[in-house]
Structure 1
């Protein structure tokens, strides 16, 4: 089948059934050996929030990202040497602030939009957009992490019906990342997890995202390029240069692309490529799902009789970060909007499934061969249900997480009240 690997991209099977999963919780409390700082990142011109801004402690691997309201939570070890924190986001001037600037809550950080006109000679020296993308893929072994790496990451998965959140899963995981020149798939080890759901608002249906954290890991275009570009010649795709931009004082080519073969669900999107190293810095991907039958076969694994279920929007984002001259997977996000049509109901239901993963720390693997245990996840995993996890104040310990959105916080409280 044409573009078969793209069709199973991210193993995004939506499992729809009547039976909730068994409760499960994995928790490890840690001593208070860290300091937590909270705040928000804003646009200096209009004070608009900046979502998915990256905060990293310089000369360390500690990092986090802002949520959809621009808020962040950053945890650093006690006694860390006088440190600075780098704050960056695409299209804004990066900023370095001393750790002493940060407060336990209420820290405000302003980023200035980039206003510099980028030099055409400097930015467009690549000339051919398709050739640039080909070079980007060919150089991945040189530009990205080239040794086995253990990454600590925070994963969140939420399901909302209309404007109401009805299910929320969160987990701290360890990603056993292989070198980018290695074509082998990677492992994910579960460290902590929690989930809660209001099944009444799911119309007695439990929507469960099969794949869990693997959904966001497999968005790593540079590690799994064949999931996106199914022909190494790239002749089946159309590439064009768009207006350039920059991040962290680095010039970026902006290349739009789309698949020329539109028989099946097909990808289109934008690649942000470092002008100096030809490395992918960010990618925004969309899948055209106008072919409803094919899209249903791709995403819907099982459904009750008397229903039609199909996706109407599919979007993916991924960010890479650089340290010591090498780029690494830093953050990814997947958003899917589904329609559920009931045979005997006048109105349909719409569900939005969001999943995101942020790498918060990493280190070289200490063992040549990873020993798998019961905490290693299957690629077909469905995050398990849990009620008590949200009440455990020490649940996450020193792990950096994405600051919860207000809407999600409210949803947690309402879900808990309904369950109790």
Structure 2
């Protein structure tokens, strides 16, 4: 079978590093599960990327594309509160005991913000504000070594059908943001299933695994989008302000000044008014020029195949703890059209990956990740792990609830595996 391996090139946006270690906060065996859904209070629309954080801890999760969440909390914190927050909405603080055993529906109110004249006049030049954010990040961003437990999910679809599902719990050894040392990662619990029959004569793989999301941390790795040179190639303007966690944020829109660049991005930066820290970034790679984007994100492919990226979207979020901000969540979505010689119809594939930090602690014990345990940035995660396992596989680890389509695909795959096992058992003498 011919294989089409896809990676985000280092010159575009690097693929991330990932590791896994047991999270100290989850060393105990007893924990409670809280399930629910977060919706817009006005129209009941499901809200994705909503952060749920157990107050005065580093335990958290995020909602999936259908607004659903699953939060696992050690019994030690059963009487705690949970903070529910999303950019542009008023945060809500609830007692964990208020979340019922059944699906709880949490409604968030959208917020419309008007900054004071003083806040607006402080930065008339949006470009100057962005430069200040990067120049003074040592004042706002975590500047010590941190161990993070995170959940990673990667999916590959042909059209709208899942063909590859991969999930892993990882621990990230996050280096200080002012350090030139790169983050390290070790793989822990993981599972995958791939149905290559749906891929016909091509199998599409994402190279980099968790690195594909970790390197979207543009405060740690600004060189992949905003360097001193590339900053000059973008036009920065202010959009109407917004809020996150009931705090005001500047919204800065950016786009290339001209179309002559080989690679350029466009999107929005959300910057905390008070601390001037980056709260969130949502942006896309410009793939409108077919001549420039042809085979742009491809590492390896058959000679008779041409690949055109249709979409390349990226998102990263940061969370405040005390007076510092920490990497919290990121995702990417890549959509490709694949043309193969002598075939009438082209194929469209979508590759998505996301990673959410579910717990972390400052590395006061100066723990290290052994070189032999580190994942390589070039790893193809689907080749590195085995298949699906039992329902209690994840134990007390927090994860992102699967979308219904993913959940259904997993159930179907597990049923097929069981049928195959039963068939083999019956065939034995």
CA distance in 2, matches of 1:96, 1:79: 19
Q: In the alignment, which residue of structure 2 is the partner of 1:113?
A: 110
CA distance in 2, matches of 1:76, 1:34: 5
> How far is the alpha carbon of 1:295 from its aligned partner?
3.0
Note the alpha carbon deviations across 1:330-361, whole angstroms, 9 max, x for none: 00010000111121211110000000000000
- Tell me which of 226, 239, 242 is aligned to 1:242: 239
- 1:390 match: secondary structure: coil
Note the alpha carbon deviations across 1:250-290, whole angstroms, 9 max, x for none: 11111011233533131111000011111100001110123
CA distance in 1, matches of 2:384, 2:296: 28
Contact conserved, 1:152 with 1:361, CA < 8 A, in 2? yes
> How far is the alpha carbon of 1:113 from its aligned partner?
0.7
Contact conserved, 1:55 with 1:63, CA < 8 A, in 2? yes
Q: TM-score, normalised by structure 2?
A: 0.88
User: Do residues 94 (structure 1) and 98 (structure 2) align?
Assistant: no
- Tell me which of 41, 61, 82 is aligned to 2:58: 61
> How far is the alpha carbon of 1:108 from its aligned partner?
1.1
CA distance in 2, matches of 1:10, 1:387: 22
Q: Judging changes above 3 Å, is the alpha-carbon distance between structure 1 residues 413 and 371 closer, same or farther for their aligned structure 2 residues?
A: closer
Give 1:124-139 correspondences, 5 Å limit: 124-139=121-136
Deviates more, 1:89-98 or 1:383-392: 383-392
Contact conserved, 1:30 with 1:394, CA < 8 A, in 2? no
- Tell me which of 48, 51, 70 is aligned to 1:51: 48
- Tell me which of 282, 299, 317 is aligned to 1:301: 299
Unaligned runs of 5+ in 1: 13-25
> How far is the alpha carbon of 1:49 from its aligned partner?
0.5
CA distance in 2, matches of 1:384, 1:30: 28
- 2:382 match: secondary structure: coil
Q: Judging changes above 3 Å, is the alpha-carbon distance between structure 1 residues 315 and 124 closer, same or farther for their aligned structure 2 residues?
A: farther
Contact conserved, 2:158 with 2:347, CA < 8 A, in 1? yes
Note the alpha carbon deviations across 1:163-183, whole angstroms, 9 max, x for none: 111111010001100111112
> How far is the alpha carbon of 1:392 from its aligned partner?
1.0
Q: In the alignment, which residue of structure 1 is the partner of 2:74?
A: 77
Contact conserved, 2:295 with 2:307, CA < 8 A, in 1? no
- 2:122 match: secondary structure: coil
CA distance in 2, matches of 1:27, 1:278: 33
Q: Judging changes above 3 Å, is the alpha-carbon distance between structure 1 residues 277 and 386 closer, same or farther for their aligned structure 2 residues?
A: closer
Note the alpha carbon deviations across 1:48-84, whole angstroms, 9 max, x for none: 0010100000000000000000000000001326211
Q: TM-score, normalised by structure 1?
A: 0.90
Give 1:233-382 correspondences, 5 Å limit: 234-260=231-257, 262=259, 263-368=261-366, 370-382=368-380
> How far is the alpha carbon of 1:7 from its aligned partner?
2.6
> How far is the alpha carbon of 1:115 from its aligned partner?
3.4
Q: In the alignment, which residue of structure 2 is the partner of 1:184?
A: 181
How many residues are aligned here? Answer: 404
Note the alpha carbon deviations across 1:120-150, whole angstroms, 9 max, x for none: 4334422210110011001111101111000
> How far is the alpha carbon of 1:298 from its aligned partner?
3.6
